[in-house]
Structure formats: C-alpha cells, structure tokens
Amino acid sequence: MDFPTTLAASKYSAQHAAAREIALKAGDVIRNSRDRAQAKVKSGVDLVTEVDQEVERIVAQHIRAKFPSDLIIGEEDQTENASGAQGDRIPDGNAWCIDPIDGTTNFVHNYPFFCVSIGFCVDGVPKVGVVYVPSSDSLYEAIDGCGAYLNGTKLSVDSASDISDSLLVNNIGHHRENDFVDESAERIRKWLKAGLRGYRSSGSAAINMAHVASGIVSCYYEHGFGGPWDVSAGLVLVQEAGGVAKSASDGSTFILSFGRGSICTGNEKVVDDVIRVAGKPKVDFA
C-alpha cells in the first residue's frame, strides 16, 4: 500500500519520516519471515525469535545512520545492556524506544496482533510515534501537536463515559508469579461485576494503544508491561487522538521510565473509572 503523508510540518518531521520509513521496511522483513518464527525463552513464558533480533538491528542501524548521536533503547538490546534500572526516567536529550516485534508470542503462533513500534523522545517525553502492523498493512503515526492518523485518516478516541459502555483491552503479559496472577484475575472479576461491556486481551501493548487512538476500543489497562519500548509510540498516538495516559497504580499522569510499568489509556472519564474499579495494585515492581 502507498501511505499518504498527511501530518503537518513539525520540528520533528525528520524523525517522523525516518520512523515511518524504517517501520515499513521492518514490517516487510517480518512479513517475509514467518518461516523463522521459532522462539527461544528469555524468561518464564517471555519469548524472543531471531526475527526480533534481526529487525532490531535493522532499525537501530537506520536510526544511527540518520541520527548518530541519539540514544537507542531497544527491547532486545536492553535485555543484556540496560540503559536504566526499574523506575529510572528516560535520559534527557534525544532517545528512540524501539520494539522490533511487539507481540512476539502472537508472531510465533501466527496470531496477527504483532507490530513494529518506534517512539522518539525528547528529554524523556515521547514526541513521535509510529506503529506498523504488517498483517493488516496498518500504519499508525503521530507527531506531538499534529494529530494521529491511520493510513492517512485522522483518529480520535472513543466517547464512552464510564466502564458500563466500554470495551476494555487488558494484557496480562508474561508474568506468572502467584500473587501477580491472583491479582490480575481478581481485577478482571471487579471490572465484570461493575458492568464492563466487553473485555479483550490482544498481547500487544502498542496495538492496544493504536486501537484506543482509533476509538476501536475504549480503554487499555496493563499493570506490568515490559518496558518503555512497549508504550512510547502508543503514548503519542493516544494523546494526539484526544486521550490521556495515567498510571494504573495511582491515577497520576503517566511518566515514561525503565522497567515494568503500569498504564491506563483512553478518554479521561473512562480511564478514571477503570482505575477506580480496579483499585490500587498490591504487586509492586520497584
């Protein structure tokens, strides 16, 4: 597909153009690599494939060629060469948060909810977000102050007013500690008993946030997402589509940081109601 360029000119246009180009190239690699989706275990049920690693190298090489002084924070590289500890803020200056395949388990099982996610940050604040879903040829893109778009069509979040008219997407992730599993199950029970219209779990944080920006789902909640690469691009999409992002732990404004995170996104009314019903998580990742 030829994707129209609809975003207005911005001081971040060069970064947006690079992220867009790189995401589409990476998507082609993923689409043509189904025969190399054999997985290795990183930890527990968390998987990685050689395609993840190859795509991250490709993306990082393109970014370094265009922006050699920028920091790159990639999911697979951070496993062995972490740039920050749990809870540390993203460093000042220019930084790229990249997830070569967000939804690796889905990719391994040929379940079509996986994507390339590229976020560009300035002083720890995401300014450009590009999410490309190869299976549906869907390009989500946003620049701070310029709106959010899907294949050239402007996006806006859902107008649901509370949990009772909301379609909620919630990833459980790869954590299997007993207290985490018990708390996650209890949280779902609370939402359902409060009259939640519908519950989904896709396995990709970036796609969840793209769907929130599109108004396809009302809210995305996750306590325990893997790292800043999961949500940096999606944050720009959601905010530019008129939504908010808050900490699912306490309802405060979400701040991007290293380590496992806690997030809730959507329009503000729905986000506040979903967090209220869920209650404060007891499991702490600090």
Query: Catalytic residues, which ones?
Result: 75, 99, 101-102, 104, 230
Q: Write the single-letter amino acid at 43.
A: S
**How far is Cα 69 from Cα 86, in angstroms, rounded to an integer?**
24
The token pair at 237 is: 């999409």
Sheet with strand 167-170: strands edge to edge: 198-200, 167-170, 219-225, 261-266, 244-246
Q: What's the chain's length in residues? A: 286
**How far is Cα 130 from Cα 150, in angstroms, rounded to an integer?**
10
Q: Which residues contact 116 (CB under 8 A, 6 or more apart)?
A: 23, 26, 27, 30, 55, 59, 99, 100, 101, 102, 130, 131, 132, 134
